[in-house]
Structure 1
């Protein structure tokens, strides 16, 4: 986690809001909160950043010493012992996989390596390569027993990027609550949760990303007591022969989603729920996605695709025009 010098604003602004801006989990992050007592504010920040640093070291596949990297290195070779924290996350994945009807699948790492958005694409992978990687995916293939996990085929791998930020947001909100902070916004790469208000209003103002234009917004939301998560291809994508390929892979086909979707913004009681909803709706497309969102409880959504924008009534109710 990168926390640049000077990123912490100890002195509150005119609204009484303290802010910290940093990079973690591969994203630009911020925490805004109101706490008049400076020592209490510093205590909260220390606890929050310490937990986040530990979480990233332990569960990032980019850290060769993380538990995730150890599991991946042992794929097709041997069982790997895991602690109760990892057991909890693996149990959670079972629930998320079922909740998303199989769309959220952390075993898509072989496909992510085939579709490497960090490289300049002069050609797309051929079908044989994609199909071979697809054969190495599938959460139901993962074997578990108490205190251990085994990926049965060499080349398999797991990645928690599909829900790691959302999990972290929810935990940081719990840390804020434990520290008696009633007004806080935790935003980890546009996956966020807000409590209370921003000192001027009884809510926090959050922009809704325009899926077609990275630097534009569809409007704003009044957020308090719920989470917001967005999925779209505006962050990482490439074009080849006039076809746009985004970074969200359909785990059923092994290919980037190509159903005309631009972005989905979801509201839910937890960031995990919002993240699962936004990704699942994006992959399913407009009709099936709206049906999926309608079946879910206590959630709202804004869907943007090639045909335009559609919002649930509850989403519209939470829109605001200005901060």
Structure 2
């Protein structure tokens, strides 16, 4: 399950005499759930589920760093100077990752996996630990999207770089599944994949799909703070309180700043991004989480993003919403305890 999952679904309400179809399953090392309003033109639920799982299976075959036969794992095993042909999905995500890398001055980086492994959070890690300076310097030399070069349909690397698309592939999967549901004639749905969500249309009783933002409560637990209604928007939340370790009295999060090669140390506990594209929301929530409460908020405001920041303040938490978020969901930027 994604460590950054800070969003939960609220109980859905039924309209009188109408229904919502539901199904769920496993994917990307976690789970997915689909809820939609069927119509007379909608295929039967088994076909809908089969179409969804075909998309998820294909993406897992490309992007999973936990299976040795995936496209990304084969690329990661290549030595410096090698090239490999990439499928269209991967080229799309690489292009968006390159955009975020440039816009953030390297705070967002798809080549961070060597650092994740070194600190104990990646698929090839050897346990959570603070690395020594020489090991950190060695792995940092392999990190940086400037070491990648796209040559037609092939991706080349000038160091033994390793890609990790976990910061955006679930959001992309949400968009792909949503597009397929729309193509099948489904006009109202809520898609959730490893915690990334998108809601379109309305439930049979006319009410919107609603999700609840969670607030950490000091440990790895959380509580529901308030709900927002979705229609045509994707939602992604990244946070640092579910996946971390402690050593020598210091807390080390799984959220890394690639610019320094270490977990972030700022007071930002979680950030939610809302965007018509779940892919964009997914990547941007990671980017803002790395940048932190001040630099991240400035970035979000500068790019007119709908973002909701939750910062630690002593034993309490304080929330700050961007103007764009406030315009979409009035009353969401309040101080919390």
| TM beyond 0.5 | yes
Pick one of 227, 239, 242 that aligns with 1:232.
239
Give the Cα–Cα distance (whole angstroms) in 1 for the partners of residues 331 and 24 of structure 2: 26
> Any stretches of 5+ residues in structure 1 without a counterpart?
1-11
Residues 47, 100 of structure 1: CA spacing in aligned structure 2 closer, same or farther, 3 A cutoff?
farther
> For residues 204 and 249 of structure 2, what CA distance do their matches in structure 1 show?
47
Change (3 A) 1:126 1:81: same
Map 1:2-81 → 2, pairs under 5 A: 16-37=19-40, 39-76=43-80, 78-81=82-85
TM-superposed CA distance for 1:94, in Å, is 2.1
SS in 1 for 2:62: helix
Higher relative contact order (CA 8 A, sep 6+): 2
TM-score with structure 2 setting the length: 0.83
Find the counterpart in structure 2 of residue 243 from structure 1.
Answer: 250
2:168 — aligned with what? 163
Please give the TM-score of this superposition, normalised by the length of structure 1: 0.87
Give the CA deviation at 1:254.
0.9
- State which drifts further: 263-272 or 88-97: 88-97
Relative distance call for 1:18 and 1:247 in structure 2 (3 A) is same
Shift of 1:315: 5.3
Greater displacement, 135-144 / 204-213: 204-213
* 8 Å CA contact 1:17, 1:34 repeated in 2: yes
Q: For the structure 1 residues 132 and 106, does the alpha-carbon distance in structure 2 shift closer, same or farther, using more than 3 Å as the test?
A: same
- Give 1:85 deviation, angstroms: 4.0
SS across alignment from 1:194: strand
Instruction: Report the secondary structure of 1:239's partner residue.
Output: strand
* 1:125 alignment partner in structure 2: 131
User: Residue 185 of structure 2 aligns to a residue in which SS?
Assistant: coil
Assess if the C-alpha contact under 8 Å between 2:62 and 2:72 holds in 1.
yes
Most deviating of 102-111 and 78-87 = 78-87
Q: Deviations over 1:233-268 (max 9, x none)?
A: 133111222222111111111111110111001111
Contact 2:147 2:159 (8 Å CA) reproduced: no
From the superposition, tell whether residues 284 and 89 of structure 1 become closer, same or farther in structure 2 (CA, over 3 Å).
closer
Q: Which residue of 2 aligns with 1:317?
A: 330
**How many Å apart are 1:285 and its aligned residue?**
1.4
CA gap 1:235/1:189 in 2 versus in 1, 3 angstroms: farther
Contact 2:119–2:128 (Cα < 8 Å) also in 1 = no
Q: CA 1:204 to 1:122, structure 2 compared with 1: closer, same or farther past 3 Å? A: closer
| Residues 176-230 of structure 1, C-alpha deviations (whole Å, 9 max, x = no match) | 1111111111111221111012333431110102134534122111111111100
Cα separation, 2, equivalents of 1:176 and 1:189: 18
Residue matched to 2:118? 114
Pick one of 306, 310, 314 that aligns with 1:300: 306
Q: Report Cα offsets for 1:22-64 as digits up to 9, x if no partner.
A: 2211223211111145744332221111111111012212221
Between the aligned partners of 1:201 and 1:130, the Cα distance in structure 2 is 54
Partner residue in 2 for 1:287: 294
Going from structure 1 to structure 2, the CA distance change for 1:61 and 1:136 (only over 3 Å counts) comes to: same
Aligned length: 306
Mapped contact 2:120–2:129 kept (Cα < 8 A): no
Structure 2: gaps of 5 or more residues = 1-12, 333-337
Report if aligned partners of 2:39, 2:186 keep a CA contact under 8 Å in 1.
no
Whole-angstrom CA distance in 2 between matches of 1:117 and 1:200:
44
Give the distance between the partners of 2:58 and 2:38, measured in 1 at CA: 24
Higher alpha-carbon deviation: 117-126 or 204-213: 117-126
